[in-house]
Structures are given as C-alpha cells and as structure tokens.
Amino acid sequence: MPIYLDHNATTPADPAVITAVATAMVESWGNPSTLYGTGKNARRILDASREKIAALIGADDPSGIIFTSGGTEGNNMVLFGARCSHPSHRMHLITSMAEHKAVLRPCRRLEEQGLDVTYLPVDHLGRVDPGAIRRALTPETRLVSIMFANNEVGTINPIAEISEICRTSGALFHTDAVQAVGKVPLDVKALGVDFLTLSAHKFHGPRGIGAVWIRQPGSGLAPLLHGGSQERGLRAGTENVAGAHGLGVAAEIAFQRIAADAPQMRILRDRLWERIRIEISGARVHGDMENGLPNVLNVSIPGWEAEELVFALEREGIEAGHGSACTTGQTTPSHVLLAMGIPPKEARASLRFSIGRGNTIEEIDKTADVLGRLSFR
Ligand SMILES: Cc1ncc(COP(=O)(O)O)c(C=O)c1O
C-alpha cells in the first residue's frame, strides 16, 4: 500500500461507511417518494442521514440539508440557483480569486451570461479581507461566495465576519466548506451563512454524494435540475439513498472523532514541515499554518517542478498532490498560489501534502527521508 498523503483530493471510505452503503443497497432500495413501506424505509434512511449531517454542522433544522452529487453540484446549485431565481434583474456577485474551480468556472459562465462578478484578491496567506467585501458590495449584490478553507493551502477565511457584513447589506452568503466539514468543527448558526456546500468523499464518505445546507429552504434559490419535486423541489431526481446513508455515517463518525483527529493531524503535519525545513534548504511553506486546516502542508521544494516530484515520490511509494494544472505538456502554476503573490517558478515547485486519519508518524518520517534524499539529486 502506498503512503497516501493526498486526503484533500479524496479520502478512503471508512469501513463502517462501506458496510452502511452496502446494507442500504440491500435493505433500503425503495424510492423515497413512494407511499408504501419500501419507500418509507428509504425515506427514513434519508432523513436520518440529514440529522447526522445537521449535527456535524450545527444546524437546528435537518430539513435544510439538500442532497447533491457532491461539492461541484452544490456550488453550482447555489451560484446558478441564486441567479435563476431573479433572471430579469441586474445582479452582482462577489467571490475570491482563490476559490476552487467549482466556484470560479460557474462564475465565469454567469459573467458570460451578463452577470457582474467581482473577484477579490487574497493576502499572502490566501485570506480574503472582510473590509474588501464591504467595499465591493453594491445594492445589486445578491450573493457573496467565499470558501471556508482553501483546498490547496488550507487557509481558513473569516467566515463569521464576512457573513455579518453580507447580512447587514442584504446580500446572501454562501461558503464552499468542502475542505472544512469533517476536518474542523464548524457551526452554521455561529457562522451565520445562508448556504454551505459539503462533499462526503473529503471526510471518508463515498464519492458522488454531498449536500448543500440552506438556512431557509424555499427562499432565494431556483432549482438547477427540473423534474420531480424531490429535495424540497430544489434537486429533481430520485435520491441516492445508499450514498446519502454513507454520507450520514461518515458525518456521524467525523462528529465523534473530530476533537481527537484534528490535533493528531496537526502533530503529523507540523512534524513533516519541521523535518522538511531542516533537511531541504530553501523549502518554503505556503498558507496559514497557525489558523488554517490542521492537515495541509503546501511547500515549494527548490529545483523541482511539482509534477516531477509527484512522480519521483510515487516511485518511492508516496502519493502527494500538486496545485499546478498540466495541459498538453505545459504547466500552469496554481491560481491560488499566484493570487497569494507567490512567484510562478516557486508556485510550479509546490507540493501539497494533506494528512488523513490513517497516517502514522512512521509514514511522515519516511516521506521526509525520501524528500531529503531527492533534494540532493
Ligand atoms: C474547495 C472545494 N470545493 C469543491 C470541490 C468539488 O467537490 P466534488 O469533488 O465533491 O465535486 C472540491 C474538490 O476538490 C474542493 O476542494
């Protein structure tokens, strides 16, 4: 088995999640919209899962959880849904330059459709300045979308402060919390957000299932998919009951373990950085190590292109991520690192290690040993 250090890309499903999904497929295969026992059983599974997700994110009303196929759909649901509910109005949207493509690309598409979009810069840690949001708001700003935690560098944004600013000005506030849910404790009541996106496969649930939490179901969003009236009319189509059950079980496990897992991941992450810092001169860390996600270490290793290093690590049995996009042999540095003001050469040399529940000190030490050796090539 390789040493897997790319948990921000995806995580292995917890064995209890695998059992739950299989059991639901066998025992709860009914259509939750039907009125008889088989369907009612499936509906019970969905609703129990909503309750577990609500507990994880501090939501009082589980009916605000709308199941989706994952984070990409969730973000699209909110961004296009906010637009489609007011198709004839002029509309302004605010987001940041460091968002995931699952926010940036829908925003670009909305711009092509005539929407006015402001892409706010981020500081050297990757953080959005709430003051910049205040200054960018106009009477036409309908939606602000700022990620909770950055997928590449782990930096956490001041979400409660931003949502307060949005509330005062009457704009709706969405946060893409795909990388935060299950890794750090969060509470939608304290955060004051209107919409929150999450995705099961980032916290040991199945791929292809996620949810959007909506403060006031029925207000402010039009559906993306049209058909049946599932999920309060916001997401047509027969629900993925087994996936939703897996998501619920993953949420329950995360809820129970988060207080112990987060500090443990931080210990491993800090140890990895400490070893790299000592062994590789010129290595530089990117992002907010102090207040960011506890599991992410984004580092530039001088003299390497990240892709080369990913392959070199793979040959040594270690899997890590890189932020650059590689299209037809050309490497484009990560838009997040560039937005943080990191020079392109350094950005191209950046690797992302993201620690997970199963990682051990031995794996971290082996990774540091290998990196140290590779840096002397
Ligand atoms: C911040 C963020 N948002 C959205 C997504 C997309 O989630 P999914 O893979 O569930 O569509 C990801 C996935 O990497 C992510 O990191």
pLDDT per residue as tens, the chain (377 positions): 999 999 999 999 999 999 999 999 999 999 999 999 999 999 999 999 999 999 999 999 999 999 999 999 999 999 999 987 766 668 999 999 999 999 999 999 999 999 999 999 999 999 999 999 999 999 999 999 999 999 999 999 999 999 999 999 999 999 999 999 999 999 999 999 999 999 999 999 999 999 999 998 766 799 999 999 999 999 999 999 999 999 999 999 999 999 999 999 999 999 999 999 999 999 999 999 999 999 999 999 998 899 999 999 999 999 999 875 555 555 789 999 999 999 999 999 999 999 999 999 999 999 999 999 988 76
Separation of CA 100 and ligand 1 centre (Å): 7
Q: Which residue in the block uniquely carries the two structure tokens 């373990």?
A: 257
Closest residue CA from atom 7 of ligand 1: 71
Residue 250 and residue 320 in one domain: no
- What CATH number is given to the structural domain containing 78? 3.40.640.10
Separation of CA 33 and ligand 1 centre (Å): 29
Pairwise CA distance, residues 166 & 370, whole Å: 47
Residue 70 and residue 153 in one domain: yes
Residue 128 and residue 190 in one domain: yes
Q: Which two tokens stand for residue 180?
A: 């935060």
The pTM assigned to this predicted structure is: 0.97
- pLDDT at position 220 is 75
Distance of CA 322 to the CA centre of its chain: 16
Q: How many CB atoms lie within 10 A of CB 23?
A: 15
Residue 233 and residue 344 in one domain: no
Residue 228 neighbours by CB under 8 Å, 6+ apart: 33, 236, 237, 238
Residue 134 and residue 281 in one domain: no
Q: 254, 281, 304: which is the final residue of a domain? A: 254
Region of 2 please: left (phi>0), alpha (psi -120 to 50) or beta: beta
Pairwise CA distance, residues 114 & 237, whole Å: 29
- pLDDT at position 137 is 98
Q: Is residue 326 flagged as an active site residue?
A: yes
Q: State which residues form the domain around 265.
A: 3-9+258-374
Q: 254, 279, 294: which is the final residue of a domain? A: 254
Residue 93 and residue 110 in one domain: yes
For residue 125, give the nearest of 94, 96, 93, 163 by alpha carbon. Answer: 96
Judge whether 106 and 95 are in contact, CB under 8 Å. no
Q: Is 332 buried (19+), middle (13-18) or exposed (0-12) by CB count in 10 A?
A: middle
Separation of CA 60 and ligand 1 centre (Å): 25
- pLDDT at position 322 is 85
Q: How many domains does the chain fold into?
A: 2
Q: At what angle do helices 241-279 and 15-27 cross, to 10 degrees?
A: 170
Residue 303 and residue 362 in one domain: yes
Pairwise CA distance, residues 346 & 325, whole Å: 14
- pLDDT at position 181 is 98
Residue 137 and residue 30 in one domain: yes
Q: Best substitution site from 179, 203, 336 to test ligand 1's pocket, by max atoms within 8 Å of Cβ?
A: 179
Residue 230 and residue 305 in one domain: no
Residue 34 and residue 106 in one domain: yes
Closest residue CA from atom 4 of ligand 1: 71
Q: Which two tokens stand for residue 84?
A: 């489609």
Residue 196 and residue 247 in one domain: yes
- What CATH number is given to the structural domain containing 344? 3.90.1150.10
- Eight-state DSSP code of residue 286: E
Residue 109 and residue 228 in one domain: yes
Q: 254, 281, 296: which is the final residue of a domain? A: 254
Judge whether 162 and 133 are in contact, CB under 8 Å. yes
- pLDDT at position 184 is 97
